[in-house]
């Protein structure tokens, strides 16, 4: 298999896996200092943006768009199957049906809020990252380009998701503030991972291409 395609498939698989993980974690809120809180999905979900920027840099816009669209499919399929699994009647000797439903089942608002926020924020991150990379400023630093696109995309994602998923619960504003603060912190720490991931990808592709040539 072509070395570039192999690395792309690796990134695609990682992106989809993290999204499915986020589907389960999205309904859990954890406490932060000063009375704030955030969704437990914040860590796994933010890593998908790191992967997306890596794909955009190495493979371009069209590959990245396909990854985003396939990500939505993976989230929708996983959500549908989780609901189906929860609907199945429990065996007589299995007494964890309610616990299982609590973990895997979410309200329609959480699904819709997550999917809308995902599509808007990931497409925005992709477009803004590639736009920055075309500027003199962006060409000098892939890390700064990734950081700026991450910060703005995460703000959009947080406001859209929390507003739809938790409207009327009384936790919208604290959750938006808390979640965005932790995303901002994590984005600052994680942005250099884009540069590392790109470098690793280029090295891996070059090494694999060399091996393929030798075998031929």
Does residue 193 belong to any structural domain of this protein? yes
**In this model, does residue 170 exceed pLDDT 70?**
no
Which pLDDT does position 141 carry in this prediction? 92
Does residue 31 belong to any structural domain of this protein? no
Residue 132, C-beta contacts closer than 8 angstroms, at least 6 positions apart: 138, 144, 145, 148, 149
**In this model, does residue 12 exceed pLDDT 70?**
yes
Which pLDDT does position 14 carry in this prediction? 93
**In this model, does residue 211 exceed pLDDT 80?**
no
Q: What angle do CA 155, 161, 162 make, to 5 degrees?
A: 90
Does residue 187 belong to any structural domain of this protein? yes
Domains: count for the chain: 1
Does residue 33 belong to any structural domain of this protein? no
**In this model, does residue 34 exceed pLDDT 90?**
no
Which pLDDT does position 143 carry in this prediction? 93
Quote the pTM value.
0.84
CB 64 within 8 A of CB 55: yes
Which pLDDT does position 215 carry in this prediction? 41
Mean pLDDT, the chain, rounded, equals: 84
Does residue 32 belong to any structural domain of this protein? no
pLDDT tier for residue 20 given thresholds of 50, 70 and 90: confident
Spacing of C-alpha 192 from chain mean position = 17
Does residue 111 belong to any structural domain of this protein? yes
Q: How far apart are CA 199 and CA 197, in angstroms?
A: 5
Does residue 119 belong to any structural domain of this protein? yes
Structure token pair of residue 212: 């393929």
Instruction: For residues 86-102, give the mean pLDDT.
Output: 81
pLDDT digits (tens, 9 = 90+) for 111-161: 788 889 999 999 999 999 999 999 988 888 999 999 999 999 999 998 998
Does residue 169 belong to any structural domain of this protein? yes
**In this model, does residue 214 exceed pLDDT 60?**
no
Domain that holds residue 207: 3-26+38-88+97-215
**In this model, does residue 26 exceed pLDDT 70?**
no
For strand 37-39 and strand 29-31, is the pairing parallel, antiparallel, or unpaired? antiparallel
């Amino acid at each position: 298999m072509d070395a570039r395609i192999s690395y792309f498939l690796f990134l695609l698989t990682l992106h989809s896996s993290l999204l499915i993980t986020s589907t389960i974690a999205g309904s859990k809120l954890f406490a932060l200092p000063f009375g704030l809180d955030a969704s437990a999905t914040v860590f796994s979900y933010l890593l998908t943006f790191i992967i997306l920027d890596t794909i955009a840099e190495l493979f371009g816009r069209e590959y990245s768009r396909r990854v985003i669209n396939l990500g939505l499919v993976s989230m929708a399929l996983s959500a549908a199957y989780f609901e189906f699994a929860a609907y199945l009647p429990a065996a007589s000797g299995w007494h964890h049906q309610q616990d299982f439903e609590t973990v895997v089942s979410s309200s329609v608002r959480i699904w819709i809020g997550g999917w809308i926020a995902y599509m808007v924020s990931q497409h925005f991150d992709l477009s803004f990252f590639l736009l920055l990379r075309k500027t003199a400023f962006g060409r000098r630093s892939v890390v700064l380009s990734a950081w700026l696109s991450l910060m703005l995309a995460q703000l959009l994602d947080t406001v859209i998701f929390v507003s739809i998923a938790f409207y009327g619960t009384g936790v919208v504003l604290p959750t938006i503030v808390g979640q965005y603060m932790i995303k901002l912190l994590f984005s600052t720490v994680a942005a250099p991972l884009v540069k590392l991931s790109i470098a690793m990808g280029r090295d891996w592709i070059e090494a694999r291409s060399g091996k393929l040539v030798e075998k031929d």
